[in-house]
Amino acid sequence: LEMTIFQMKCYLTFSELLNFTRAAEVLHMTQPTLSKMIAGLEDEVGVPLVQRTKRSVILTNAGQVLCTYFRKMLADYKEGLERVSAASQGHCGSVRIGFSSAIISHVLPPLTKQMAAEHPDIDVILYDATQTELLQLLHNDELDLVFVDAFAPATYEELCTKVIYTDELGVIVSMAHPLAQKEAVTLDELRNEKLLISGRLMQSASSPSTTNSIITSTLYENGLLPSVTQVTRTLSNMIVMVDCNAGVAVLPRRLAAYAPSTVRFCPIDKSRKDTASKLEVKIFAAWKERRDNACIRTVIQMLNDILPPEEAMQNPDSQLA
Protein backbone atom coordinates (compact mmCIF):
# COMPACT_ATOMS: atom_id res chain seq x y z
CA LEU A 1 0.00 0.00 0.00
CA GLU A 2 1.34 3.43 -0.93
CA MET A 3 -0.04 6.64 0.46
CA THR A 4 -2.05 8.70 -1.98
CA ILE A 5 -2.85 12.41 -2.04
CA PHE A 6 -6.44 11.51 -1.19
CA GLN A 7 -5.37 9.52 1.86
CA MET A 8 -3.22 12.41 3.07
CA LYS A 9 -6.12 14.84 2.73
CA CYS A 10 -8.46 12.44 4.55
CA TYR A 11 -6.01 11.97 7.39
CA LEU A 12 -5.48 15.73 7.80
CA THR A 13 -9.23 16.33 7.82
CA PHE A 14 -9.61 13.69 10.52
CA SER A 15 -6.69 15.15 12.50
CA GLU A 16 -8.43 18.54 12.62
CA LEU A 17 -11.84 17.18 13.69
CA LEU A 18 -10.69 14.15 15.73
CA ASN A 19 -14.13 12.63 15.20
CA PHE A 20 -14.67 9.74 12.81
CA THR A 21 -18.34 10.51 12.21
CA ARG A 22 -17.93 14.24 11.51
CA ALA A 23 -14.77 13.70 9.42
CA ALA A 24 -16.54 11.04 7.34
CA GLU A 25 -19.42 13.45 6.67
CA VAL A 26 -17.03 16.19 5.56
CA LEU A 27 -15.20 13.74 3.31
CA HIS A 28 -18.46 12.33 1.91
CA MET A 29 -17.67 8.75 2.89
CA THR A 30 -18.89 6.25 5.46
CA GLN A 31 -17.36 6.04 8.90
CA PRO A 32 -16.19 2.40 8.39
CA THR A 33 -14.41 3.44 5.18
CA LEU A 34 -12.56 6.24 6.98
CA SER A 35 -11.70 3.98 9.91
CA LYS A 36 -10.33 1.38 7.51
CA MET A 37 -8.26 4.04 5.74
CA ILE A 38 -6.70 5.27 9.02
CA ALA A 39 -5.99 1.66 10.02
CA GLY A 40 -4.31 1.12 6.66
CA LEU A 41 -2.04 4.12 7.26
CA GLU A 42 -1.13 2.74 10.68
CA ASP A 43 -0.23 -0.59 9.08
CA GLU A 44 1.94 1.18 6.50
CA VAL A 45 3.91 3.33 8.96
CA GLY A 46 4.04 0.50 11.48
CA VAL A 47 3.02 2.53 14.55
CA PRO A 48 -0.29 3.69 16.05
CA LEU A 49 -1.44 7.10 14.79
CA VAL A 50 -4.67 7.39 16.76
CA GLN A 51 -5.30 6.74 20.43
CA ARG A 52 -8.91 5.81 21.12
CA THR A 53 -10.54 6.15 24.55
CA LYS A 54 -14.14 5.85 25.69
CA ARG A 55 -14.53 9.64 25.72
CA SER A 56 -12.26 10.91 22.96
CA VAL A 57 -9.94 10.25 20.06
CA ILE A 58 -6.50 11.88 19.99
CA LEU A 59 -3.43 11.64 17.81
CA THR A 60 -0.35 9.94 19.11
CA ASN A 61 2.99 11.75 18.94
CA ALA A 62 3.70 9.77 15.76
CA GLY A 63 0.31 10.81 14.40
CA GLN A 64 1.11 14.48 15.02
CA VAL A 65 4.49 14.17 13.30
CA LEU A 66 2.80 12.54 10.32
CA CYS A 67 0.42 15.51 10.11
CA THR A 68 3.37 17.89 9.85
CA TYR A 69 4.87 15.96 6.97
CA PHE A 70 1.54 15.47 5.20
CA ARG A 71 0.92 19.25 5.29
CA LYS A 72 4.35 19.91 3.82
CA MET A 73 3.93 17.24 1.15
CA LEU A 74 0.53 18.56 0.13
CA ALA A 75 1.86 22.14 0.05
CA ASP A 76 4.73 20.99 -2.20
CA TYR A 77 2.26 19.08 -4.36
CA LYS A 78 0.06 22.16 -4.74
CA GLU A 79 3.05 24.34 -5.55
CA GLY A 80 4.21 21.76 -8.07
CA LEU A 81 0.85 21.81 -9.83
CA GLU A 82 0.91 25.61 -9.93
CA ARG A 83 4.42 25.65 -11.41
CA VAL A 84 3.46 23.02 -13.99
CA SER A 85 0.53 25.21 -15.02
CA ALA A 86 2.78 28.28 -15.10
CA ALA A 87 5.33 26.40 -17.21
CA SER A 88 2.67 25.43 -19.72
CA GLN A 89 1.80 29.12 -20.06
CA GLY A 90 5.42 30.28 -20.39
CA HIS A 91 5.67 31.86 -16.94
CA CYS A 92 8.02 29.33 -15.35
CA GLY A 93 10.92 27.15 -16.45
CA SER A 94 14.07 27.87 -18.40
CA VAL A 95 15.04 29.08 -21.85
CA ARG A 96 18.46 28.58 -23.43
CA ILE A 97 19.49 31.46 -25.69
CA GLY A 98 22.51 31.39 -27.99
CA PHE A 99 24.26 34.30 -29.67
CA SER A 100 27.29 34.61 -31.90
CA SER A 101 28.23 38.25 -32.16
CA ALA A 102 28.76 41.41 -30.16
CA ILE A 103 26.39 42.96 -32.66
CA ILE A 104 23.51 41.73 -30.47
CA SER A 105 24.90 43.22 -27.25
CA HIS A 106 22.42 46.11 -27.28
CA VAL A 107 19.52 43.60 -27.26
CA LEU A 108 20.58 40.90 -24.78
CA PRO A 109 21.17 43.05 -21.64
CA PRO A 110 17.76 44.80 -21.70
CA LEU A 111 16.07 41.51 -22.64
CA THR A 112 17.56 39.55 -19.74
CA LYS A 113 16.98 42.39 -17.26
CA GLN A 114 13.34 42.74 -18.32
CA MET A 115 12.85 38.97 -18.15
CA ALA A 116 14.29 38.92 -14.63
CA ALA A 117 11.98 41.76 -13.58
CA GLU A 118 8.75 40.48 -15.12
CA HIS A 119 9.35 36.71 -15.18
CA PRO A 120 11.65 35.86 -12.25
CA ASP A 121 10.61 32.19 -12.43
CA ILE A 122 12.14 31.81 -15.90
CA ASP A 123 15.83 31.01 -15.88
CA VAL A 124 17.53 32.59 -18.91
CA ILE A 125 20.71 30.68 -19.81
CA LEU A 126 23.07 32.27 -22.35
CA TYR A 127 25.41 30.40 -24.70
CA ASP A 128 28.18 31.93 -26.81
CA ALA A 129 29.15 30.01 -29.96
CA THR A 130 29.74 30.44 -33.66
CA GLN A 131 26.73 30.84 -35.87
CA THR A 132 27.21 27.40 -37.41
CA GLU A 133 27.38 25.84 -33.94
CA LEU A 134 24.31 27.74 -32.77
CA LEU A 135 22.16 26.55 -35.65
CA GLN A 136 23.29 22.96 -35.08
CA LEU A 137 22.55 23.21 -31.34
CA LEU A 138 19.12 24.63 -32.17
CA HIS A 139 18.49 21.79 -34.62
CA ASN A 140 19.47 19.26 -31.92
CA ASP A 141 17.13 20.88 -29.36
CA GLU A 142 20.09 21.84 -27.18
CA LEU A 143 19.13 25.50 -27.50
CA ASP A 144 15.65 27.04 -27.50
CA LEU A 145 16.33 30.30 -29.34
CA VAL A 146 19.34 31.82 -31.09
CA PHE A 147 20.33 35.25 -32.33
CA VAL A 148 22.10 34.99 -35.67
CA ASP A 149 23.20 37.52 -38.24
CA ALA A 150 22.63 37.52 -41.98
CA PHE A 151 20.53 34.39 -41.56
CA ALA A 152 19.08 32.64 -44.62
CA PRO A 153 15.69 31.32 -43.37
CA ALA A 154 14.94 29.44 -46.60
CA THR A 155 17.73 26.99 -45.81
CA TYR A 156 16.16 26.11 -42.45
CA GLU A 157 12.47 25.49 -43.14
CA GLU A 158 11.86 24.00 -39.69
CA LEU A 159 12.67 27.30 -37.99
CA CYS A 160 10.64 30.38 -37.23
CA THR A 161 12.53 33.64 -37.63
CA LYS A 162 12.03 37.24 -36.66
CA VAL A 163 14.10 40.16 -37.90
CA ILE A 164 14.98 42.11 -34.79
CA TYR A 165 17.51 44.52 -36.16
CA THR A 166 18.96 45.81 -39.44
CA ASP A 167 22.49 47.15 -39.19
CA GLU A 168 24.20 49.27 -41.79
CA LEU A 169 27.70 48.61 -43.05
CA GLY A 170 30.11 51.49 -42.98
CA VAL A 171 33.78 52.35 -42.95
CA ILE A 172 35.83 52.70 -39.80
CA VAL A 173 38.85 54.94 -40.07
CA SER A 174 41.41 56.45 -37.74
CA MET A 175 40.61 59.97 -36.61
CA ALA A 176 43.99 60.87 -38.17
CA HIS A 177 42.77 59.67 -41.58
CA PRO A 178 41.47 62.30 -44.06
CA LEU A 179 38.22 60.33 -44.53
CA ALA A 180 37.39 60.88 -40.85
CA GLN A 181 36.44 64.45 -41.72
CA LYS A 182 33.74 63.38 -44.18
CA GLU A 183 30.07 62.83 -43.29
CA ALA A 184 29.85 59.89 -45.71
CA VAL A 185 32.37 57.95 -47.77
CA THR A 186 31.85 56.89 -51.38
CA LEU A 187 32.99 53.56 -52.75
CA ASP A 188 35.24 55.39 -55.20
CA GLU A 189 37.10 56.88 -52.28
CA LEU A 190 37.66 53.41 -50.83
CA ARG A 191 39.21 52.05 -54.01
CA ASN A 192 42.42 53.92 -53.33
CA GLU A 193 42.63 52.88 -49.66
CA LYS A 194 44.41 49.97 -48.04
CA LEU A 195 41.47 47.81 -47.05
CA LEU A 196 41.70 45.77 -43.86
CA ILE A 197 39.77 42.51 -43.78
CA SER A 198 39.61 39.66 -41.30
CA GLY A 199 40.96 36.27 -42.24
CA ARG A 200 37.54 34.99 -41.17
CA LEU A 201 35.96 37.12 -43.92
CA MET A 202 38.05 35.45 -46.61
CA GLN A 203 37.32 31.98 -45.25
CA SER A 204 33.58 32.66 -45.08
CA ALA A 205 33.15 34.07 -48.56
CA SER A 206 31.33 30.97 -49.79
CA SER A 207 28.86 30.91 -46.89
CA PRO A 208 25.48 32.57 -47.57
CA SER A 209 24.52 33.14 -43.95
CA THR A 210 27.01 35.11 -41.89
CA THR A 211 27.91 38.76 -41.45
CA ASN A 212 31.44 37.86 -42.54
CA SER A 213 30.15 36.53 -45.86
CA ILE A 214 27.87 39.53 -46.29
CA ILE A 215 30.82 41.90 -45.87
CA THR A 216 32.97 39.86 -48.25
CA SER A 217 30.19 39.65 -50.84
CA THR A 218 29.57 43.37 -50.54
CA LEU A 219 33.23 44.13 -51.12
CA TYR A 220 33.32 41.86 -54.17
CA GLU A 221 30.04 43.21 -55.60
CA ASN A 222 31.32 46.75 -55.36
CA GLY A 223 34.70 46.00 -56.92
CA LEU A 224 36.70 46.39 -53.73
CA LEU A 225 38.02 42.81 -53.78
CA PRO A 226 40.37 41.52 -54.92
CA SER A 227 42.60 44.51 -54.30
CA VAL A 228 45.56 45.49 -52.18
CA THR A 229 44.43 44.46 -48.71
CA GLN A 230 45.84 43.69 -45.29
CA VAL A 231 44.44 40.54 -43.68
CA THR A 232 44.07 40.40 -39.90
CA ARG A 233 43.41 37.36 -37.75
CA THR A 234 40.46 38.82 -35.82
CA LEU A 235 38.02 41.71 -36.00
CA SER A 236 39.50 43.19 -32.82
CA ASN A 237 42.95 43.21 -34.41
CA MET A 238 41.43 44.90 -37.43
CA ILE A 239 40.17 47.75 -35.26
CA VAL A 240 43.61 48.09 -33.64
CA MET A 241 45.20 48.40 -37.07
CA VAL A 242 42.62 50.99 -38.08
CA ASP A 243 43.50 52.91 -34.92
CA CYS A 244 47.16 52.75 -36.01
CA ASN A 245 46.10 54.27 -39.35
CA ALA A 246 47.32 51.15 -41.16
CA GLY A 247 44.20 51.01 -43.29
CA VAL A 248 40.40 51.24 -43.26
CA ALA A 249 37.77 48.54 -42.69
CA VAL A 250 34.11 47.85 -43.52
CA LEU A 251 32.09 46.75 -40.48
CA PRO A 252 28.53 46.94 -39.13
CA ARG A 253 27.86 50.07 -37.12
CA ARG A 254 27.24 48.15 -33.89
CA LEU A 255 30.60 46.39 -34.04
CA ALA A 256 32.30 49.68 -34.77
CA ALA A 257 30.73 51.01 -31.58
CA TYR A 258 33.29 48.96 -29.64
CA ALA A 259 36.17 50.83 -31.23
CA PRO A 260 38.07 53.47 -29.22
CA SER A 261 37.23 57.15 -29.50
CA THR A 262 40.27 57.57 -31.74
CA VAL A 263 38.43 55.63 -34.45
CA ARG A 264 35.39 56.90 -36.37
CA PHE A 265 32.54 55.10 -38.15
CA CYS A 266 31.70 56.74 -41.49
CA PRO A 267 28.50 55.78 -43.33
CA ILE A 268 28.84 54.77 -46.98
CA ASP A 269 27.06 57.03 -49.43
CA LYS A 270 24.26 54.81 -50.74
CA SER A 271 22.93 57.38 -53.20
CA ARG A 272 25.72 56.72 -55.66
CA LYS A 273 24.95 54.59 -58.71
CA ASP A 274 28.15 52.61 -58.19
CA THR A 275 26.70 50.98 -55.04
CA ALA A 276 25.77 47.40 -56.00
CA SER A 277 24.18 46.21 -52.73
CA LYS A 278 22.15 47.45 -49.76
CA LEU A 279 25.23 47.59 -47.52
CA GLU A 280 23.42 46.17 -44.52
CA VAL A 281 23.09 43.03 -42.44
CA LYS A 282 20.01 41.70 -40.68
CA ILE A 283 19.97 40.19 -37.21
CA PHE A 284 17.43 37.40 -36.63
CA ALA A 285 15.94 35.57 -33.70
CA ALA A 286 15.39 31.94 -34.71
CA TRP A 287 13.60 29.11 -32.92
CA LYS A 288 11.90 25.81 -33.68
CA GLU A 289 8.19 26.13 -34.33
CA ARG A 290 7.49 22.70 -32.82
CA ARG A 291 9.72 23.15 -29.78
CA ASP A 292 7.55 22.41 -26.73
CA ASN A 293 8.74 25.22 -24.48
CA ALA A 294 6.23 27.98 -23.83
CA CYS A 295 8.98 30.17 -22.37
CA ILE A 296 10.15 30.78 -25.95
CA ARG A 297 6.88 32.60 -26.67
CA THR A 298 7.42 34.71 -23.56
CA VAL A 299 10.90 35.73 -24.77
CA ILE A 300 9.59 36.59 -28.24
CA GLN A 301 6.81 38.69 -26.71
CA MET A 302 9.39 40.44 -24.53
CA LEU A 303 11.44 41.21 -27.64
CA ASN A 304 8.36 42.77 -29.22
CA ASP A 305 7.89 44.90 -26.11
CA ILE A 306 11.46 46.19 -25.73
CA LEU A 307 12.57 46.61 -29.34
CA PRO A 308 11.90 49.99 -30.90
CA PRO A 309 10.46 50.24 -34.42
CA GLU A 310 12.76 49.09 -37.23
CA GLU A 311 13.30 52.60 -38.50
CA ALA A 312 14.36 53.75 -35.03
CA MET A 313 16.79 50.84 -34.74
CA GLN A 314 18.55 52.00 -37.87
CA ASN A 315 19.16 55.35 -36.18
CA PRO A 316 22.65 55.21 -34.64
CA ASP A 317 21.54 57.37 -31.74
CA SER A 318 18.60 55.15 -30.80
CA GLN A 319 18.75 53.05 -27.62
CA LEU A 320 16.60 50.29 -26.25
CA ALA A 321 14.32 51.39 -23.44
**Residue bearing the bigger pLDDT, 23 or 101:** 23
The three state secondary structure string of the chain is CCCCHHHHHHHHHHHHHCCHHHHHHHCCCCHHHHHHHHHHHHHHHCCCCEEECCCCEEECHHHHHHHHHHHHHHHHHHHHHHHHHHHHCCCCEEEEEEECCHHHCCCHHHHHHHHHHHCCCEEEEEEECCHHHHHHHHHCCCCCEEEEECCCHHHCCCEEEEEEEEEEEEEEEECCCHHHHCCCECHHHHCCCCEEEEHHHHHCCCCCCCHHHHHHHHHHHCCCCCCCEEEECCHHHHHHHHHCCCCEEEEEHHHHCCCCCCEEEEEECCCCCCCCCCCEEEEEEEEECCCCCHHHHHHHHHHHHHCCCHHHHCCCCCCCC
Rounded Cα distance between 210 and 148, Å, is: 8
CA distance 190 to 222: 10
pLDDT score recorded for residue 314 = 44
**What mean pLDDT is predicted for residues 109-137?**
90
pLDDT at 177 over 90: yes
- Work out the mean pLDDT of the chain and round it to a whole number: 82
More confident residue, 216 or 73: 73
Q: Is the pLDDT of residue 69 over 90?
A: yes
Q: What are the angstrom distances between the C-alpha of 100 and each of 126, 229, 235, 289?
A: 11, 26, 13, 21
Provide the whole-model pTM. 0.66
Given a cut of 60, is residue 106 above it in pLDDT? yes
Helix 294-306 vs helix 61-88: crossing angle, to nearest 10: 60
pLDDT at 315 over 50: no
**Out of 42-51, 156-165, 181-190, 206-215, which region has the weakest mean confidence (pLDDT)?**
206-215
The answer to whether residues 256 and 101 touch, using CB atoms and an 8 Å cutoff, is no
Taking 60 as the threshold, does the pLDDT of residue 312 lie above it? Answer: no
* Residue 318 pLDDT: 35
Whole-number pLDDT of residue 244: 93
pLDDT confidence band for 208 (50 / 70 / 90): very low
Mean pLDDT across 65-72: 93
- Does 64 have pLDDT greater than 70? yes
The answer, yes or no, to whether residue 95 has pLDDT greater than 90, is yes
Task: Give the pLDDT confidence of 273-303 residue by residue, as tens digits.
Answer: 555 567 888 888 899 877 778 889 899 889 8
Distance separating alpha carbons of residues 193 and 186, to the nearest angstrom: 12
